[in-house]
Structure 1
Amino acid sequence: MVGTDRKHRVLIIEDEDNIAIALDYLMSREGYDHQRIATGAGALDCIRADHPDIVLLDIMLPEVSGYEICQAMRADIDLADVKILMMTARGSVMERRKGLALGADGFIAKPFELKELRDEVRRLLTPGTGGT
């Protein structure tokens, strides 16, 4: 929780169970309310319904890619305040540029250190630092 009376809400969109377990552990430890979906299908409906503070978004997802989800989120004015942290095992400069160009607020390459991810989530959720 960062300076508010309510917990930040995090949506994890990740299809790899081992990574999702690590993310679940970290989000629980940090005190965030969170949930996970394992496919890109239905992700936008879930985001619109729950309106999380941040989405941890894998790029390579079954059915709908993280890039497509990011682009659709940024085209929806009602989701303009939702932060997007893209995650990928293909952490090339081109992948990063594409994600940021589509409107992602941050980008992290897998495998990542839990501290690195925690710090990036905190940065995005903290007012005045690229966050809310």
Structure 2
Amino acid sequence: MPLLDVTDVLNDPMFQDTSLTCTRQAQTIDANGMASNAQAVTRFAGVVTNDTGDQLMRRADGSRIEGSITIHTRFGLIDGKIGFDADLVTWQGRQYTVVNVRDWSTYGRGFVAAQCELIPLSGG
């Protein structure tokens, strides 16, 4: 088990971004099997780091921009579970889908590392 506790760094206001928002979508299924989402938007703080960054992906049918970030936070982001779609995170005017949430409490109690992919994919 690592002996490094990075809680002080992750909580440092000079390092942490407090302008993140999470859109959580609770899903319900009606009698016809159609899903509908009820959204709740919450502001939270975290440390945002570059994951893959923005990349131009060239394919036979055209090209598009893909990108991802990682957010280290104590806020309970979810990548989808029963009754909820994956969280949508807005950072610096761009929206990302949470695709993977990893327990990061080994390095700081209560922290998660959430990998988030840019949406929408934009053509180039």
Q: TM-score, normalised by structure 2?
A: 0.25
Query: Which entry has the higher C-alpha Rg, 1 or 2?
Result: 2
Which is richer in helix?
A: 1
Which is richer in strand?
A: 2
Q: TM-score, normalised by structure 1?
A: 0.24
Higher relative contact order (CA 8 A, sep 6+): 2
